Structure 1
């Protein structure tokens, strides 16, 4: 199995958090080709993907309230965000579903984008923004609101409370609020607020991510492959009176050997991670996914 096949397999079995990381990395690679100015040594994102505070731009291109959250202005910007995303995603998905995770990610990106545009409008400033930080802050603050006293083991530091980690990140944002990248910090704090609000409303029976999940499902079903059920020939036994006799249907579902092996490998991934698989197991899972 080559590296490309290995990446494809990890994308298939890694879950929605891994896929989001792949999407962010993929968008960064695309931006290196299309939007990087090698003469000036920096990115020049067009209003087609970056969220601009110019009303002409965001009104004509409303999708930028979402696309900006998949592009990053530099390698280290991407690396730090993906590290925090990976960390917070693992914790969030311990308590919540993948639909809630994706719904909150998209919803917080849109909400933070609106706050950024609104804040700069009242300050009479014009700027544009890219980065997944706001959506990541929402995920991190949401799980912290739900389980603030959870112990998290950090390298060289040992066990610390989850709320300590989140508090440090938020304090750093507040300290830099008026120094640089004010628009970025506005969106970060907006994402953090939505993450807190999301969990509080969820505990009272209101799931804000449902509307976003419904929209995602609509487009997934719209562009996804429709599963066609092949025609089946049905045999019926009839009594002398001509009435059909229904045969009892077994409720026991028997897994074939391949499916059982797939389930065992997926259980191993969930317990020990993808890297714990042997070369043969990776190849078997890749062939089974084709």
Structure 2
């Protein structure tokens, strides 16, 4: 994003902010032009402030966890009634993945999240900045798993799960629930669920930021204020199946989305959530 971007607003993940801020990619947000800022959840702002001190450059948008989306019936047919759907063993244990290959497994095309997930599963720091943590056991495990992974993609799995073309995906909570909803609407008999594994799942935060060379700043602030309206962001949450950062919108979000496991606002999963630090190894 160096040089002229042509964008007035962008939506990066919070874990990439530090690197981008160091590069001077964004300009500070003028909070005096964002009266709706008061609606944002202060606890969520604290988490994002780990990457954006004083919440100077980024406005939280949506958040959730990276976990396991799975076809309830197909996984049961392959692994039996005791299939470890509440554990990363389901997809990170080579012998399980080898069996699930027959019905189709996909991983996110997001190396930073996949490596963090594998490191956490192996009992290492998921936010490690040590290169050896990535090139050692984590890479060894992924190489063992690779032959049994149908593809790496960050959106294709939504339709594939919904249609029954795949049976397991490491994916984002909202996307998996979109798949479940599409299957339900299609009445195709596909039963999709989402799991936050007991070993822990990575949380992620999508934020809005303004590039340093933004040309239409007044319009950008109008749009951000529109998104800060509780009724507007609640409607978006209902459409994309993700939790939003607006504390005043929670009561307006449909119960279906509000109670979805994996969306954090549902509660009951705090001990299983791992929060990201800045992205990437340093050593």
Shorter-chain TM-score above 0.5: no
* TM-score relative to the length of structure 2: 0.23
Q: Looking at CA atoms only, which structure, 1 or 2, has the larger radius of gyration? A: 1
Which protein is richer in helix relative to its size? 1
Which protein is richer in strand relative to its size? 2
* TM-score relative to the length of structure 1: 0.23
Q: Quick one: higher RCO (CA 8 Å, sep 6+), 1 or 2?
A: 2
